[in-house]
Each structure stands twice: as C-alpha cells, then as structure tokens.
C-alpha cells in the first residue's frame, strides 16, 4: 500500500476549498474567512441561465398562483415584472433572501431547507383550485417535486431556467493547496459537486485527502464520497449554508 503523505502541522491547514458555484460562492468565501479560515474558490459546476420569456414562458396562460423555486440559481431568470408580485415559495433561507433582493414581494421559505419540505409547505399553504404553480428549476432537477405536486392535484408548469455543466479540472490554486498539505477542509453543497470534484482529482491528490475534512450539506452528498479517503466526512446539522459553516467551525 502506498505511503500516505506526511501531515503538516495542524496550524498550516488553514485552507478551505469552496466547491459551490456563484452566486453562493462569494457569500460562502466571505463567511468562511470570517471564521478564521483561508478560503479558496474551487467551483466544480458552471451554471448557464435560460431566462423565461415575459409571461413565464406561457404568454397565453393565466398567471400562476405561485412561483416555486428549488435553488437560488433560478432567481435571476424569473425576476420578471409580471412575476415578482406573485407569492414565491423558496426552498431555503438563502434562496428566499435572493428572491427578496431580486424584487419578489411575498416570499415564503421552507423551514427544513429541502425540496421535500418545500413540497409539504405547498400542500399546507396553497390549493389546486387557485391556479397553476410555476416551478422554476435546473435541467435534470425537480422531477420528484413536480410529480408529487401533480399527484396531489396541482397543475404544475415546470420550467427549466438554468442548466449545469461539470468542470473536468480542479482549479490550479485549489490543487496546489491540497498538494502542499495546506487544506483543512472541503465544502460540498451537492452530490453533483462532490462527484465532479472527485473525478477531477489525480491519484496523488486523492492520497492527500487523508488529512482533510469533507463538510457536506446532506447524507446524499456524503454517499458520493468514500469516507476511507478522508480524515472525516461530516454532514451539516441543517441542509444550508449556516449548517455547513457551523459544522466547519471557527479556526482556533
């Protein structure tokens, strides 16, 4: 079995690789630095917006009774004059903040911060007879939520407003931090990000993970990672940025 790299003193492992894409990347970098760490941008996904046409891509249809948003990535595409006064139901606190900042007036947030919680909130707060739901999401996402709402009797206009592509290479600065043993943790905000990160690593960089913590947003994300390769794989207590940062902790 190959020898594992010598672990530098703990004080040298101040680096934290932040793998989420914009717009959340900058916010997380700032919050990570505020906790005493040295964040390095290592986004593994690229987001391409597919804006809606005026009228929510269905000019002849009646306005929806509500806009449903499963990710903050969808906000910029749906912040249209004819939608911002319609009630908006957001998957989590960060998505709700961005919706309000984009002009949405009536924003409700799912307390659990998950698509399942968002679905439960909708079933409790709206009724099928009041009109259709506009479900804005990324390509390949949200099918389970749409199916569950339709099974409950809702008319759902599912609109793809962004698509996600994976990066094949790790950012050079992030790779160098791993190689030099300067990374203390990597933050993973989705299973897709975690998978892209692992596929981008060389064998030598995989060996370096033995001294690095993986902080993940959910158990589904943890399942993508081989715990034996890491110092630890830690699931955030809540599936949001606050939970991720609490799990990371302040650097002592």
CA-to-CA dists, residue 165 to 123, 170, 171, angstroms: 32, 14, 15
The pLDDT of residue 54: 53
What pLDDT shows up at residue 222? 96
Residue 99 CA to residue 103 CA, distance in Å, equals 7
d(CA 74, CA 55): 16
pLDDT value for 200? 96
Distance CA 24, CA 18 (A): 10
Instruction: Specify the pLDDT at position 236.
Output: 96
d(CA 132, CA 140): 21
Strands 45-49 and 156-166: antiparallel
Upstream peptide bond of 23 is cis (omega within 30 degrees of 0): yes
How much is the mean pLDDT over the chain?
89
Question: Which parts of the chain have pLDDT scores under 50?
Answer: 1-11, 55-60
**pLDDT value of position 23:** 81
Which residue in 221, 250, 229, 236 sits closest to 44, CA to CA?
Answer: 221
Report the 10 Å Cβ neighbour count for 9.
7
* Cα-to-chain-centroid distance, residue 51: 19
Closest CA to 74 of 102, 116, 43: 102
């Amino acid at each position: 079995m190959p020898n594992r790299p010598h672990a530098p003193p703990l004080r040298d492992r101040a680096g934290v690789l932040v793998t989420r894409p914009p717009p959340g990347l900058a916010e997380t970098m700032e919050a990570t630095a505020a906790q005493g760490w040295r964040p390095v941008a290592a986004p593994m996904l690229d987001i391409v917006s597919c804006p809606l046409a005026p009228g929510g891509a269905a000019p002849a249809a009646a306005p929806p009774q509500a806009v449903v948003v499963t990710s903050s990535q969808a906000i910029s595409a749906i912040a249209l004059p004819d939608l911002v006064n319609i009630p908006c139901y957001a998957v989590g606190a960060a998505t709700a903040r961005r919706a309000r900042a984009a002009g949405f007036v009536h924003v409700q947030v799912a307390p659990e911060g998950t698509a399942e919680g968002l679905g439960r909130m909708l079933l409790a707060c709206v009724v099928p007879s009041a009109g259709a739901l506009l479900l804005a999401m990324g390509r390949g996402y949200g099918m389970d939520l749409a199916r569950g709402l339709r099974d409950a009797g809702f008319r759902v206009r599912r609109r793809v407003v962004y698509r996600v592509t994976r990066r094949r290479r790790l950012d050079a600065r992030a790779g160098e931090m791993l190689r030099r043993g300067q990374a203390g943790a990597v933050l993973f905000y989705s299973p897709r990000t975690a998978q892209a990160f692992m596929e981008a690593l060389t064998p030598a960089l995989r060996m370096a993970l033995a001294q690095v913590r993986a902080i993940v947003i959910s158990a589904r994300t943890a399942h993508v990672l081989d715990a034996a390769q890491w110092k630890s794989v830690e699931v955030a207590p809540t599936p949001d940025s606050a939970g991720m940062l609490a799990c990371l902790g302040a650097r002592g």
